Amino acid sequence: MAKKLYVSFLWHMHQPYYRKSKNGTTLMPWVRLHGIKGYYDMPKLIENLSGIKVNFNIVPSLLEQITEYTNGKTDDYLRLSRIAAEDLTKRQQEFIINNFFQAYPETMINPYPRYRKLSDKNPQEFTTQDLLDLQVWFNLTWFGQWLKDNHPFIQEMLKKGRNFTEYEKQQILDLQINVLGEVKELYRALQQNKKIEISTTPFYHPILPLLINSDIARKCMSDAALPVPAFKYEEDARWHVAEAINYHYQTFNKKPRGVWPAEGAVSDAALKLLIENNLKWTASDEDILRHSLKEWDEDSLYQPYLYKSDDGEIALVFRNHGLSDLIGFVYQNWKTEDAVGDFINHLKNIKNIIKNDVGLVSIIMDGENAWEYYLRNGWDFLRLLYESIVKDDELQLTTINDYLEEYPPQKKLTSIYPGSWIYANYSTWIGDPIKNKAWKQLLKVREMTGEKKCEIPRNMYIAQGSDWFWWYGEPHTSVNDPLFDELFRSNLIETCEEIGVNPPCELNNSLYEEEKSEAEPSGIINPEINGKEDDYHEWLQGVSFKTVKGYGAMHRVSKIITNFTYGFDSNNLYLRWDYSGKEKLENLKLQVLFNVGGSNKTLEIDFGTGEGHLSDQTGKKYPLRQSKQWELAEILEIMVPLEYLDDNRFTTPLELRWMITGKEGTLEEWPYNKYLKLQKPRELFN
């Protein structure tokens, strides 16, 4: 028998709960906008393809909010979109101009001339028609590729492009709600036709092991400072699991057999809880398996395992981290045929190393965010990928349950290493000072509910979701950080109000520390530009930032730049980048975009050729010479003469953002989708 590799894709569909229960306001639009994009496109793509077997993991908190939209609920962005442009107040106009460009520029703004022109326009110059067109474009660009290719009205609006009417805008917004109404039925039909398996996640996406006992983090983060006392509420974890199973059954008329624990976070206690609820399989990351096995070889990853405890057993599969990240972060900038060909080659290489006649490779990843960065919402890439696997005799698509029924696990695990898919630990959600502060507030309010001996309000369960802790502190951030903070605290406040106690006073204040971007250099610096830190003090009075913070809802484990620093003397701006390895930069390019009082200037350095210059909007170039004005060695240092940037030196506001690019496009960008305001040291004004 020829070897065959079974390929199982699991697309994880998730959004946190964005609604404030007290007033019914939904602060962010991402359920609605991803609902008409990835959540609709993904099942629609496979609807008419043959030979398809795919897993979709759909989180109850997402399903719950989709239902609320179809029942007439709205969100702040939709409410402002509904208002006639001529009736918008000044404050509403400012909100729309500041927030209705929240879309990835390369694929969702720049391809549409009118939308791109609006993004470049001075906010003070917006007319009523500009505002109306912006209301339309923000809502229009988020439609998925199937609708853009097949819906006549959407095609008509895309072709028209500008001078939209209020009637057309309302039609677009009504269509969004109608599309949301089709989403759940799409998945139900595909499951009935046995093209997909639908699994679930604990209801509001909590990190299950940390709910059971947050001290479990000590086993995988021995040096971390954890909150004291620990959060220990196994009964809450039990609620999330049981409620998810019940809600799944009500939605899809079938109980789930599998569960993707939020963020692939597992522990022995968490697995036993899943076993108690009669779930048949679960999954985590390959690094969890690597830490759990006494012996590891190249074949270990490509088979399921049976976890056995005194309470029963459950099957586990483990995601291939590298293949999942290729789709999530790399292929977006490749030609479709090249990307699919490369992926198929990886699968063939895996097939050749498996020792048995069959093997299973699991690709488990976010099901919606990656496609924003692909042309045509990833439609062409995914379609060709599916079709290429289906027609290959050595490869076969499968659902996890189908594979387990045909090829039950032959290897056993009696214990599991505690951790998640990120770094095989829980550091994304606990251990950082501000994350720990959030856990302490969560514990304080949860203890209040225990003292009242009442039914636990739903807001408490919502506050236990992983997303609030994801955005607090390192390593993630977004333009919506204040809103995530507000939602976390409001759920705790509403929990207190529901049980009849006064909320702790600290819940009235944001957990966020003061943004470091407001800090100014403590003095003048004058480092030698040689690519080395000759003396600790030469950059000490500059302003430094950890750039491992990821701007977005997806996490990329491997980062190139780890730290960025700037500072001034009376004649120059100094820039420094710390990185994880020089070889990662040698064939790449750096681009620094400056905003100098509204005028744009660009600094570019090609590390491969050694060429560098700064150019202005007229095309005039100022050369930057290697070994004199920039050097790449242990660190990257650049000296930019201030006369290149601004004749007025220190009186004009100066902002920047930078990007590292390669042949695949932009690899890293900081800050994401915004500029960093540079502060000058006060002594330069004296």
Q: What is the pLDDT of residues 108-135, one digit of tens each?
A: 999 999 999 999 999 999 999 999 999 9
Banded model confidence at residue 686, pLDDT cuts 50, 70, 90: very low
What DSSP string describes 221-241?
A: -TT----SSPP--HHHHHHHH
* pLDDT value for 571: 87
Q: Which amino acid, one-letter code, is at 557?
A: V
Cα–Cα distances (Å) from 233 to 202, 238, 259, 300, in that order, read: 14, 9, 20, 34
Distances (CA, A) of 29 to 75, 423, 561: 6, 30, 31
Please name the amino acid found at residue 681. Answer: P
Q: How far apart are CA 304 and CA 403, in angstroms?
A: 9
pLDDT digits (tens, 9 = 90+) for 571-596: 889 999 988 765 567 788 999 999 88
Quick one: what percent of the chain has pLDDT higher than 70?
Answer: 94
What pLDDT is attached to residue 556? 53
Contact present, 114 and 133 (Cβ < 8 Å): yes
d(CA 220, CA 290): 13
- Check pLDDT > 50 for residue 535: yes
Residues in Cβ contact with 32 at an 8 Å cutoff, skipping those fewer than 6 apart: 69, 75, 77, 78, 176, 180
Task: Tell me which DSSP letter residue 571 carries.
Answer: S
Which residues lie closer than 8 Å to 301 by C-beta, 6 or more apart? 286, 289, 318, 320, 361
Kindly state the DSSP code that residue 437 receives in the 8-state scheme.
H
For the cut 70, the answer to whether the pLDDT of residue 425 exceeds it is yes
**What Å distances lie between residue 281 and 259, 272, 306, 402, 426, CA to CA?**
7, 12, 9, 11, 22
Give 303-350 pLDDT, tens digit per residue. 999 999 998 999 999 999 999 999 999 999 899 999 999 999 999 999
The DSSP code for 513 is: P
Higher pLDDT, 294 or 143: 143
179-237: pLDDT as tens digits: 999 999 999 999 999 999 999 999 999 999 999 999 999 999 999 999 999 999 999 99
Whether the predicted pLDDT of 138 surpasses 90: yes
Beta bridge partners of 23: none
The bridge status of strand 281-285 relative to strand 258-259 is: parallel
User: Averaging pLDDT over each range in 22-31, 532-541, 554-563, which range is the top one?
Assistant: 22-31
Read off the pLDDT of each residue in 413-441 and give the average, rounded to a whole number: 96
Contact, 204 vs 172, CB < 8 A? Answer: no
Mean pLDDT of the chain: 91
Q: Is the pLDDT score of 553 beyond 90? A: no
**Residue (of 458, 461, 438, 444) closest to 501 by Cα position:** 444
Q: Which helix (H) or strand (E) holds 494?
A: helix 481-499
Q: Mean per-residue pLDDT for 417-433? A: 96
> 531: which 2 tokens?
């690519």
Are 566 and 584 in contact by the 8 Å Cβ rule? The answer is no
**Shortest CA distance to 561 belongs to which of 574, 542, 544?**
544
SS3 track for 447-482: HHHHHHCCCCCHHHHHHCCHHHHHHCCCCEECCCHH
pLDDT band, very low/low/confident/very high, at 244 (cuts 50, 70, 90): very high
H runs (alpha helix) in 71-199: 76-82, 90-99, 113-120, 128-141, 145-150, 152-160, 166-192
- Strand stretches in 471-512, DSSP E: 476-477
pLDDT at 683 over 80: no
Q: What share of the chain is helix, strand, coil (3-state, %, to 5)?
A: 45, 20, 35
Rg for the chain (alpha carbons), in Å? 26
- Number of neighbours of residue 2 by Cβ within 10 angstroms: 7
Place of tokens 């109000």: 497
Per-residue confidence band for 359, with pLDDT thresholds at 50, 70 and 90: very high
pLDDT at 558: 52
pLDDT in tens, 43-94: 999 999 999 999 999 999 999 999 999 999 999 999 999 999 999 999 999 9
Mean pLDDT value across residues 615-636: 88
Residue 646: the pLDDT is: 77
Q: How far apart are CA 533 and CA 538, in angstroms?
A: 8
Residue 101 to residues 77, 115, 325, Cα–Cα distance (Å): 12, 9, 27
Residue 546, helix vs strand vs coil: strand
pLDDT above 90 coverage of the chain, percent: 74
